[in-house]
């Protein structure tokens, strides 16, 4: 199972009633944080999310509203006793910037910096979660992230009994391991069906609508996308600064055949984004206006 939380929903400026956009996903004690603007550590505390289990931090890009909270958050993780390494993933050039920011953050753990352009098919792992970055289109190098919790095939006990495999070996085979019984090598394919649908969540903000987002979100369970402006009257501004309107985000969700869309990264000029839900829902029905601390618990489908 996978638990996700939209930590904040503000774009560009942290507001007193809205934290900056960031996202959290956790499975079996391994947590991923995507983006870390000023105040993200406080917003996490408000959402009852623990900092210490964060193994991987993914940064979409290096604008302050997505990265300025990094030194403080890492320091607090250290103060809370974390000693295991933390992996940071970001676009080309982000390592240099992170190194600059960490000048105020002496840490009791190693920080591993992984740069990717999001076009090379790099896959990272955090526990069992696969992290697939993809390139999007902003005013600087920027990544979206696909998070996938894969699910193995169905174990067939009838076949296992027929092959006289002892029960103690069943779980190993189910996990994809090969076992040897009395010199007979048994591959998992002999008793395990093809991989089943896992859980698939996509997060992408600070981008124009590009086909890479639809591709990444194809048949996903949830897409979390920016909708900086509710209406098309600000489309020119969205284009100029590399952002998306509600309608544009909804169009991506519709084309991706995702199950659900959460909008986030609202401009400070938008006091009540929920008043404009219909701008997106007219295009993609299952749209929700993001709220700070909004959560969802995913389990594998039967």
Q: Tokens 């896959």 belong to which residue?
A: 123
Identify whether 206 is a catalytic site residue.
no
Binding a second copy (rule: CB under 8 A), the pick from 2, 5, 26, 38 is 38
Enumerate residues 153-182 that contact a second copy by CB under 8 A.
none
If binding is defined by CB under 8 A, does position 72 make contact with a second copy?
Answer: yes
Q: Percent helix, strand, coil in the chain (nearest 5)? A: 30, 30, 40
**Is the separation of the CB atoms in 197 and 301 below 8 Å?**
yes
Stretch that binds a second copy, among 82-90, 95-103, 117-125, 225-233 (CB under 8 A): 95-103
Shortest separation between residue 285's beta carbon and a second copy, angstroms? 35
Catalytic residue among 55, 65, 221, 292: 65
Element (H, E) at 126: strand 124-126
If binding is defined by CB under 8 A, does position 97 make contact with a second copy?
Answer: yes
Which residue pairs from 121-125 have beta carbons closer than 8 angstroms and sit at least 24 positions apart in sequence?
124/56, 124/87, 124/89
- What is d(CA 67, CA 94) in angstroms, rounded to the nearest whole number? 10
Binding a second copy (rule: CB under 8 A), the pick from 11, 69, 227, 230 is 69
Binding a second copy (rule: CB under 8 A), the pick from 29, 81, 104, 299 is 104
Cα-based torsion angle of the residue sequence 95, 99, 102, 103 in order, rounded to the nearest 10 degrees: -170
| Residues designated as active site | 65
Q: What are the residues binding a second copy (CB under 8 A)? A: 12-16, 37-39, 41-42, 45-46, 62-65, 67-69, 71-72, 75-76, 79, 97, 100-101, 103-105
């Amino acid at each position: 199972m996978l638990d996700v939380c939209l930590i904040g929903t503000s774009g560009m400026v942290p507001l007193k009633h809205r934290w900056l956009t960031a996202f959290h996903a956790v499975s079996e004690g391994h947590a991923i944080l995507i983006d870390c603007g000023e105040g993200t550590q406080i917003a996490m505390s408000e959402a009852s999310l623990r900092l210490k289990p964060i193994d991987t931090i993914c940064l979409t890009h290096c604008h302050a509203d997505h990265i300025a909270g990094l030194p403080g958050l890492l320091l607090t993780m250290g103060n809370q006793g974390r000693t295991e390494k933390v992996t940071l993933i970001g676009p080309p050039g982000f390592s240099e910037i992170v190194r600059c920011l960490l000048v105020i953050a002496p840490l009791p753990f190693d920080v591993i910096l992984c740069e990717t352009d999001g076009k090379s098919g790099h896959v990272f792992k955090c526990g069992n979660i696969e992290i697939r970055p993809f390139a999007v289109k902003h005013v600087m190098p920027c990544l979206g992230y696909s998070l996938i919790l894969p699910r193995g095939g169905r174990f067939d006990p009838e076949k296992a009994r027929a092959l006289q495999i002892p029960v103690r070996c069943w779980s190993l085979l189910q996990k994809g391991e090969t076992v040897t019984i009395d010199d007979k090598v048994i591959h998992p394919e002999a008793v395990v069906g093809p991989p089943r649908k896992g859980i698939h969540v996509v997060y992408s903000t600070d981008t124009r609508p590009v086909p890479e987002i639809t591709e990444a979100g194809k048949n996903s369970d949830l897409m979390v996308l920016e909708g900086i402006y509710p209406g098309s009257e600000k489309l020119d501004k969205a284009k100029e600064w590399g952002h998306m309107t509600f309608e544009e985000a909804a169009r991506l969700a519709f084309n991706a055949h995702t199950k659900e869309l959460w909008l986030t990264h609202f401009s400070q000029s938008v006091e009540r984004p929920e008043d404009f839900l219909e701008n997106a829902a007219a295009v993609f029905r299952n749209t929700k206006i993001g709220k700070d601390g909004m959560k969802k618990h995913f389990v594998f489908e039967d």
